[in-house]
Amino acid sequence: MNIHEYQGKALLKAHGVPVLEGVHCTTVDQALAAYDQLGSKVVAVKSQIHAGGRGKGNLYAPDTGDLVMEGGVKIAFAKDEVETYATNILGNVLVTIQTGADGKLVRNLYVEAGCDIAHEYYLAILVDRENKSVLIMASTEGGMDIEHVAETTPEKIHKISVDPNAGLLGYQKRDLGLALGLSGGAHKAFAKALSSMYEMFVSSDCSMLEINPLVRTADDGIVALDAKVSFDENAEFRHKNWDDLRDLSEEEEVEIRAKETGLSYVKLDGNIGCLVNGAGLAMATMDVIKLYGGEPANFLDVGGGANEEQVKTAFSIILEDPNVKGILVNIFGGIMRCDIIARGVIAATEALSLDVPLVVRLAGTNVDEGKAILAASTLNIHPADDLAEGAQKIVELIGGAA
Amino acid sequence: MAIWIEEDAKVLVQGITGKQGMFHADKMVEYGTNIVGGCTPGKGGQTVDLQGQAYPVWNSMFEAIKATDADATVIYVPPPFAGEAIMEAADAFDTIKGEGVVVCITEGIPTLDMVKAVAFVENRPGVRLIGPNCPGIITPGEKGGAKIGIMPGHIHAKGRIGIVSKSGTLTYEAVAQTMSIDEGQSTCVGIGGDPVNGTGFIECLAAFEADPQTEAIVMIGEIGGNAEQEAAAWAAENVTKPIVGFVAGATAPPGKRMGHAGAIISGGKGTAEEKFAAFEAAGIACAKDPSELGAVLLQSLKAAGLR
């Protein structure tokens, strides 16, 4: 789960990490009032969306598609500039390298005081899968694309791995500060900020905390100038405040609805809907559809113990996508019995008066009963014995390879 | 022989009085697994009925292992408590026996809980953690065998193919593929789809290589991380037995979590393409379609003079 920069900064501030004064706005009037309130001659006017690359992105009018402004993050030197930028940002669509061509409608704005920057650094805390530990990464090359830095000048990225039982130790903070070339007051301020960030990472169950840039100010302070915060959704049960931080307009509505009924759904661009049990098999089903010339319309895992109702919900979610021209059901019954799935499929196709071709592949527990139930129905259901046959059949039924 | 779990291994069930725990404990007994009891804090002294027989429940893993001399435990505890259940089991096995296998089925454990739990287990070298978010481990026997997890037992048969996989149902698919060419399995291990887990591919490959019963290996990976690439590079140097591989997620879009918490391509890394390439570079015979695993395996067995 991702949150906006302004929310991430509020969280950082609450944990004692220095950030600049800023105001979250949803209207131009609020942005103008924020400018007066901040009393800073120079302010940053920043689009708030759940995607990176905002500064280099472009804003387009949602109705006409015309370019409104280049750059989703602007520096304003006067109040009238704040008005121009806020007007150009709010209600328009920001397209960045991370949003895809459709971009994202900007509903939120952050107006932030300026500061005197001496140097920009990069800092990130994340879970390192390979070392099974929390990793802190820092670089002197802040404000840049870190993947580019990692490729071209890997020696400029410094890493420390935190022992989960010992926590972040003093020498690690000192060493990392020295590696960044910090000294004196800035070195101390860095160690303090890093402690607070690590504490926030752990206590808030973050999966990623990225500050790019983290800046050294002219007076040797350390300030988080940006904040990209993601939470580990598995830990939601112990963070009641996440409900307030969640911006549903930034998430795919249908994916949320699927999740609420215990389904895992991701929409894709193809035209063959898939309904599968198990994440790995669901991915493999998409892959095999593609292998035989089709294009999957979605990833959908109904989980290990789906009932008739969930199967029905799964079908209706798949069919909401107007691109879907056929559906492939692929179930390897373990705990889930094939006869139950077969009944669910029949109930769903009847209830939804399904009018696209349907191929059903069943294997595993009670497979013979399941197949018999499908065969006895008068509905137009095409059986398949294995995944390859199922994929080939559905591709053929929708009129051949894409 | 098999790996880590013998056919007659004595197994405890953590969370045995819960709905999931009881349902699967019953299925395990039905398969022939030597279940010796279970553990639910606060319910010690009660019994649980599995397949018409009463099994004892203990309050703690220390009590349970002392009383039963169990070899392994399987965890069906809900996510908020599962990290601690792993550590309790590891501590008890290490203290009492100096060894033991902990299988965690639970899906949805917070990642930082797993970071802590994995470090805790790694400090106890005799203890092996399998999972979490996995189907478990099964060693099929002549009759019955040891099924420790949620996989459908009846699709398996004792044999010489070792299977290791990140995914549940895709493992069943691989099992069915071995059966389609009349091959059984030595041991099947689901290592789980979470970003931070216990036993990895390399440990499984090493154990299969050392196991006399195992003559060939099927390895199933998925997008996310680089465990498959590291395992392939390791296998090229250390594994002499034929390996057949598949990686799920070639069509997965970047940046999207595909069901499993760990199945995500981030920063352009961890793609299926990368992993297939690593497999091929290591001489692993790849199937591009899981329905072809059987045919590819048969070819590899023939090439190795095993058929």
Interface test with B, best of A157, A339, A386, A387 (most B CBs within 10 A): A386
Q: Which of residues 258-287 of A touch B (CB under 8 A)?
A: 264, 266, 268, 276-284, 286-287
Instruction: Determine the pLDDT at residue A251.
Output: 86
pLDDT of residue A213: 95
State how far the Cα of A48 lies from the Cα of A362, in Å rounded to an integer: 46
- For chain B, what is the mean pLDDT? 95
Q: What is the pLDDT of residue B49?
A: 97
A3-57 tens-digit pLDDT: 999 999 999 999 999 999 999 999 999 999 999 999 998 999 999 999 888 999 9
Q: What is the mean pLDDT of residues B179-192?
A: 97
Contact state of B115 with A127 under an 8 Å Cβ cutoff: yes
**Mean pLDDT, range A68-89, rounded to an integer:** 96
B176: chain A residues, CB-CB within 8 Å:
332, 363-364
Using the structure block, give the residue that is written with the tokens 């350390």: A222
pLDDT for res B53: 97
For residue A233, give the nearest of A266, A204, A262, A265 by alpha carbon. A204
Answer whether B170 sits within 8 Å of A284, measured CB to CB.
yes
Q: For residues A122 and A142, is the Cβ–Cβ distance under 8 A?
A: yes
Strand-strand pairing, A381-384 and B10-14? unpaired
Contact B258/A268, CB-based, under 8 Å? no
Arithmetic mean of pLDDT, A136-149: 89
CA distance A374 to B236: 46
Closest CA–CA distance from residue A388 to any residue of chain B (Å): 6
A83 contacts chain B (CB < 8 A): no
CA-based nearest residue to A329, from A365, A266, A374, A270 = A374
Asked if the peptide bond before residue B254 counts as cis, ω within 30 degrees of 0, the response is no
pLDDT the model gives residue A379: 85
- The residues with which B127 forms a beta bridge, in sequence order, are B100
Residue A165 has pLDDT above 80, yes or no: yes
Extract the tokens encoding A251.
């998430």
Instruction: State yes or no: pLDDT of A402 exceeds 70.
Output: no
Which pLDDT tens digit goes with each residue over A48-68?
999 888 999 999 999 999 999
User: Cβ distance A136 to A214 under 8 Å?
Assistant: no
CA distances (Å), B191 to each of A40, A153, A211, A251, B196, in order?
55, 35, 33, 30, 10
pLDDT-based confidence at residue A98 (cuts at 50, 70, 90)? confident
Are B258 and A283 inside 8 Å of each other by CB?
Answer: yes
Residue B302 phi, psi (nearest 5): -65, -45
CB–CB of B248 and A281 under 8 A?
Answer: yes
Show which residues of A are catalytic. 122, 210
CA distance B246 to B290: 7
DSSP string, A190-240: HHHHHHHHHHHHHHTTEEEEEEEEEEEETTS-EEE---EEEE-GGGGGG-T
Of A232, A238, A287, the CB nearest to B251: A287
CA distance A201 to A211: 12
For residue B158, what are the CA distances in angstroms to A224, B140, B146, B179, B211?
59, 5, 11, 10, 14
Mutate to test the interface with A, among B113, B156, B169, B180 (most CBs of A within 10 A): B169
* One-letter identity of residue A201: F
Distance CA(B143)–CA(B138), nearest Å, equals 13
Percent of chain A at pLDDT > 70 equals 100
Q: Inform me whether the pLDDT recorded for A284 exceeds 80.
A: yes
Q: Which comes out higher in pLDDT, residue A144 or B252?
A: B252
C-alpha span between A197 and A133 (Å, rounded) = 16
- Using CB atoms, which residue from A232, A281, A335 is nearest to B111? A232
Of chain A, the percentage scoring pLDDT greater than 90 comes to 80
Please say if the pLDDT value at position A136 is more than 90: yes
In sequence order, what are the beta bridge partners of A104? A94
Q: Above 90 in pLDDT, residue A308?
A: no
**Between B165, B256, B267, which is nearest A266 by CB?**
B256
Is the per-residue pLDDT at A303 higher than 90?
no
Given pLDDT bands bounded at 50, 70 and 90, which one contains residue A310? Answer: confident
Instruction: Determine contact: B164 vs chain A, CB below 8 A.
Output: no
pLDDT at position A401 over 70: no
Three-class SS of A157-191: EEEEEECCCCCCCHHHHHHHHHHCCCCHHHHHHHH
Partner residue facing B167 (CB), from A205, A266, A278: A278
- Touching B: A residues 3-62, CB under 8 Å: none
Is B260 known to be catalytic? yes
Answer whether B173 sits within 8 Å of A127, measured CB to CB.
no
Q: How far apart are CA B92 and CA B65, in angstroms?
A: 7
Question: What mean pLDDT do residues B4-20 have?
Answer: 95
Q: Give the per-residue pLDDT at A307.
A: 78
Using an 8 Å CB-CB cutoff, list chain B residues near A268.
251, 253
- For residue A170, what are its two tokens? 């003093």
Best interface-test mutation with A: which of B23, B28, B76, B112 has the largest number of A CBs within 10 A? B112
Contact A237 B80 (CB under 8 A): yes
Pairing of strands B243-248, B285-286: parallel
Record: contact B167-A133, CB cut-off 8 A: no
What are the residues whose beta carbons fall under 8 Å from the beta carbon of A61, sequence distance 6 or more? Answer: A68, A92, A93
On chain B, the residues whose CB falls within 8 A of the CB of A202 are: 112
* Most B-contacting residue of A212, A250, A251, A287 (CB-CB within 10 A), to test interface: A287
Q: What residue has token string 């302010």?
A: A43
What is the pLDDT at residue B143? Answer: 83
Give the angle A349-A374-B157 at the CA atoms, nearest 5°: 125
* Rounded average pLDDT over B204-212: 98
> In this structure, are residues B278 and B236 in contact, taking their beta carbons and an 8 Å threshold?
no
Question: Pick from A293, A298, A362: which is nearest to A330 by CA?
Answer: A362
> Looking at the predicted complex, does its ipTM rise above 0.90?
yes
